[in-house]
Structure 1
Amino acid sequence: MADRKETILTVRGLKVDFTTPDGTVEAVKGIDLDVHAGETLAVVGESGSGKSQTMMGIMGLLAKNGRVTGSARYRGEELVGLPAKALNRVRGSKITMIFQEPMTSLDPLYTIGRQISEPIVHHRGVTLKEAKKRAFELLELVGIPEPARRIDSYPHELSGGQRQRVMIAMALANDPDILIADEPTTALDVTIQAQILDLLKTLQKRFGMSIVLITHDLGIVKHFADLVAVMRRGEVVEHGTAAEIFARPKTDYTKMLLAAEPSGRKSPPADDAPIILEGRDVAVDYTLSPGFLRGGSSVFRAVEGVNLRLRHGQTIGIVGESGSGKSTLGRALLRLLPASGHYRFGATDISNFDRSAMRPLRRELQLVFQDPYGSLSPRRTVGEIITEGLYVHEPELSRADRDRRAVAALKEVGLDPASRNRYPHEFSGGQRQRIAIARAMILKPKVVILDEPTSALDRSVQQQVIELLRDLQAKHGLSYIFISHDLSVVRAMSDYVIVMKNGRIVEEGDTDAIFEAPKEAYTRTLIGAAFNV
């Protein structure tokens, strides 16, 4: 292993600019960074701070309208301005990168064995057979179960955590000096996050590589990084050891990031508050086909025997790992998918309501999704998106009336009403989530199911959205079902918590009781992984 303090990547005066129809956008404004052998440098900051663009610029991976200037020297060799052919000798071999969402980085048409093997063939000049043997070893190394079988699997056949392990295997294929990990755990459950971070630490010690961790999650940084660079609006505003940054932050911005952990508690509803939504003995089955040209099918029970009562003004948090049935349960309660059991909305039995019978109730039963960008039509203006439901539920409204309602809804969620003529891509992630909330609130619902509404947001933006949701709930007497794998957010939002595993409820109770004295080992594992206890 190289000397721990040896500097293997030196960045000086690095700038990244983008040419747009509105002029030049300065994404990175002349920053300096050092990466030392065997250490982890965390680059932190909110979305738009320039974290990812810094590394993309160094790696020569900017969009066509991007330009990088300044200096980035890897072991003395200048990377900025290096021809692509020469740069390819470094990237993918000596410096590798893994991304937040592996499904967008893996080719759905190729097996994972083939995808791991290709960079080995390219950089080492070995045969495909030899490369596949190395791919098998790498799958073993990163803890993929049954690697002999999984090597011939396609990305969609793996879980999110397994796909991220595959990305790590690809990054390690050629024994890199530096691994750049861009938000590698944001989309994962807390227990899987902990496993991936432990894996990266273990591999770092084994191979002596450096890690550059790009993240907005300071909880990860505290337990994972040696050095921290805090970025804001394209500049490094603070730099130091992790211990220094967390114990004695110097800038107001760093202090704000550290204080942005979701906080506060919601007051529970009265014990005699009326039940607004109920599901009894809820069960959901999916029919699975084994695949093309293979006969037979099987039934997978996604939710089994769940009972839930949501009271007026209450927030029930539903937590559990991916595949636990959280989102499926939420959709079953809204009668958005076939499910057995008994369901009531207020005094109305909706157990046998079909799509047509449910339509008049949809305005009072709303759903907000995890990814607002994916749920907002890119071809419609924000005003058109927000008022879409009014055409169905209040068709008598004039165009002027709808516009007035849109203005009021945008004001209520803290957005400039003048923005209603803009398109979703012109907004930040937090602003898009506010638009999605406005679309639900304009119909004046009684129940809103929030499915991972903050998981893709920065901590500071999460806190803003949480406060907005709590304010709207208090103002309008709303009832929420809050689905999330982020337990700190659930704790801040909920007054009652349901813990799910494999489609069943394993524990439930008041929020404080669940977090302070969990009874089940599974719940203790989730809480331990989330709060590093």
Structure 2
Amino acid sequence: MTTPLLEIDDLCVDFQLPDGDVPAVKNVSLRVKEGETLALVGESGSGKSVTSTAILRLLPELARVRGAIRFRGEDLLQVPSRRMRELRGNQIATVFQEPMTSLNPLHRIGDQIKEVLRLHRGLRGAKARAKVIDLLDQVGIPEPQRRITSYPHELSGGQRQRVMIAMALACEPQLLIADEPTTALDVTVQAQILTLLKDLQRRYGMAILFITHDLGIVRHFADRVCVMRRGELLEQGRTQDVFASPKHDYTRALIDAEPSGSKAPVAENSPILLEASDLRVRFAIKRRLFGANEYFEAVRGIDVTLKRGQTLGIVGESGSGKSTLGRALLRLLESQGKIRFDDTDIGHLDAAAMRPIRKRMQVVFQDPFGSLSPRLTVGEIIGEGLRVHHPEYKRAERDQRVQQALEEVALDPAMRQRYPHEFSGGQRQRIAIARALVLQPEFLLLDEPTSALDRSVQATVIELLRELQRRHSLTYLFISHDLAVVRALADSVLVMKEGRVVEQGTTQELFDHPREAYTRELMRAAFLGEAA
């Protein structure tokens, strides 16, 4: 029997904190064979990333690690630090979730890849440059000779992830650890990255340890799957077997957490709440002292109609204009065209005239941690809008409203004295929703509100949004690149590409019978339209 490439036996990781040890990984044992893809799945906090970080011996000093991690028979927990540095990058490489935080913003991408080649292969000068160009070409970066001098911010999200893959493959590793490498990407870019990884895996014969919470990807990408929860390995086996006959209730719950169901349609005679016609948004990309400025048109003549109680889903790739359209409808961006909210033409109102309307139109953003001030308590964050729009409220009345908003989103009002970092991702998103609800709005712009969440947490947030809509007759503009979530939440869908509407219709019509090739491609990329 062939010895596995990677063997983990009884791995335990505890974090030694001032108030006691916290177990993060508990007696995990698994194997990764040469050339195979093993998926490690589970919710946030399940121990997936701690396990992968332990393999690389990159855990913080407060971590106590026990057990054995053997790579080609060599115990990585026992080898000297110098040997571990030789293995990292050379034979074991990593691709992280967010390439923008992994790449140095001050250095050109070519120089960052050259550094890997210099440290591990001793390549310099023209040889290093030629190798970098070859790597960028292999991962599908267009015009690699020109892009070698680009900075990370000059690339798209998908291109930055390709650069990270190029860096990981620079030394042709035998094991690639891919930690949520597609979570922040659109479905089409995600599909491209997965295809790229499979192609490179065949070319180099490497094994992949793929860490994710997206079971849709696992089903189509991995040979075998290991399911983790609260630091324990609950189930493992061939992917098709685990999906067909899960042995553990938690695995079944993860599979069932995939977005499902559909929204009840609004009444035909429901009044129109928001309407826009020939909406256009453009940004100056080059201002000249003499002559005409150059502009980029991000939204190009779009019509939108939203009835009370309706959910309109807007889908498309990054750069398609989804978020720009949403912000323009809320008058957070300057635009041309007509916008009516209820019976008011808001298209040309100034900031002072818009203020009374603002409390009726609220927004929930993608990243709850980034949109919540770390310096304020949850109670202060939720009550901030009340101080602005209802200065007549006394402190006690404000506090009562904050407590009611927290109860609406199924959070304990007693937690309002805590800070955002003390909550999980799903709880933080509920706090962001409570902040919007406390003003009792009629319209909510939901800009990728579930894309940063685990599937199981995502399911609870989706159900919460459905319930709040039923309870308060809310109208949603739901922006997402996750088509499964859009299908579960929206009455109708608008598909955007390059600032224009490619296709629109009811959710059922569009998902069952997409007319445009671009829409069909989006669905195939999301594993929703294989038969299309």
TM-score, scaled to structure 2? 0.97
2:32, 2:231 → 1: CA distance?
A: 18
- Identify unmatched segments of 5+ residues in structure 2: none
Percent identical pairs in the alignment equals 62
- Which residue of 85, 89, 93 maps to 1:92? 89
- 1:210 is aligned to 207
- 1:272 is aligned to 269
- 2:333 is aligned to 337
- Which residue of 453, 478, 493 maps to 1:497? 493
Q: Deviations over 1:414-470 (max 9, x none)?
A: 111111111111111101000000000011000000000000111111110000001
- 1:151 is aligned to 148
Matches within 5 A, 1:359-370: 359-370=355-366
Q: Deviations over 1:59-110 (max 9, x none)?
A: 1112343232221111111111444322110011100000111000000111
Asked if residue 18 in structure 1 is aligned to residue 15 in structure 2, the reply is yes
Q: Deviations over 1:461-484 (max 9, x none)?
A: 111000000100010010000000
1:20, 1:283 → 2: CA distance?
A: 54
Indicate conservation of the 8 Å contact 2:114/2:124, yes or no. Answer: no
Displacement over 4 Å in runs of 4+:
none
- 2:40 is aligned to 43
Matches within 5 A, 1:267-306: 267-289=264-286, 298-306=294-302
- Which residue of 436, 439, 464 maps to 1:440? 436
1:218, 1:161 → 2: CA distance?
A: 21
Matches within 5 A, 1:217-296: 217-289=214-286
Indicate conservation of the 8 Å contact 2:3/2:72, yes or no. Answer: no
Return closer, same or farther for 1:290/1:9 CA change in 2, 3 Å cut-off: farther
TM-score, scaled to structure 1? 0.97
Instruction: Kindly state the Cα deviation for residue 400 of structure 1 after the two structures are TM-superposed.
Output: 1.3
RMSD: 1.5
- 1:482 is aligned to 478
1:11, 1:289 → 2: CA distance?
A: 55
1:43, 1:26 → 2: CA distance?
A: 18
Instruction: Kindly state the Cα deviation for residue 290 of structure 1 after the two structures are TM-superposed.
Output: 9.0
Q: Deviations over 1:249-275 (max 9, x none)?
A: 000000000111101111111122111
1:23, 1:281 → 2: CA distance?
A: 61
- Which residue of 376, 380, 388 maps to 1:384? 380
Indicate conservation of the 8 Å contact 1:117/1:128, yes or no. Answer: no
Count of aligned pairs: 528
1:382, 1:245 → 2: CA distance?
A: 40
396-405 or 49-58, which moves further after superposition? Answer: 396-405
2:172, 2:413 → 1: CA distance?
A: 52
- Which residue of 71, 74, 83 maps to 2:71? 74
Asked if residue 429 in structure 1 is aligned to residue 425 in structure 2, the reply is yes
- 2:170 is aligned to 173
1:474, 1:297 → 2: CA distance?
A: 47
1:332, 1:407 → 2: CA distance?
A: 32
1:243, 1:174 → 2: CA distance?
A: 32
- Which residue of 514, 517, 522 maps to 1:518? 514
| 2:391 match: secondary structure | coil
Q: Deviations over 1:137-176 (max 9, x none)?
A: 0001111111111111111111111111111000000010
2:339, 2:283 → 1: CA distance?
A: 20
- 1:103 is aligned to 100
2:65, 2:126 → 1: CA distance?
A: 39
| 1:514 match: secondary structure | helix
1:42, 1:503 → 2: CA distance?
A: 36
- Which residue of 136, 139, 142 maps to 1:139? 136
| 1:89 match: secondary structure | helix
Indicate conservation of the 8 Å contact 2:11/2:25, yes or no. Answer: yes
- 1:409 is aligned to 405
- 1:530 is aligned to 526
Return closer, same or farther for 1:273/1:414 CA change in 2, 3 Å cut-off: same
| 1:373 match: secondary structure | helix
- 1:400 is aligned to 396
Instruction: Kindly state the Cα deviation for residue 297 of structure 1 after the two structures are TM-superposed.
Output: 5.4
395-404 or 16-25, which moves further after superposition? Answer: 16-25
Indicate conservation of the 8 Å contact 1:473/1:479, yes or no. Answer: yes
Instruction: Kindly state the Cα deviation for residue 213 of structure 1 after the two structures are TM-superposed.
Output: 0.2
1:458, 1:132 → 2: CA distance?
A: 40
1:129, 1:21 → 2: CA distance?
A: 52
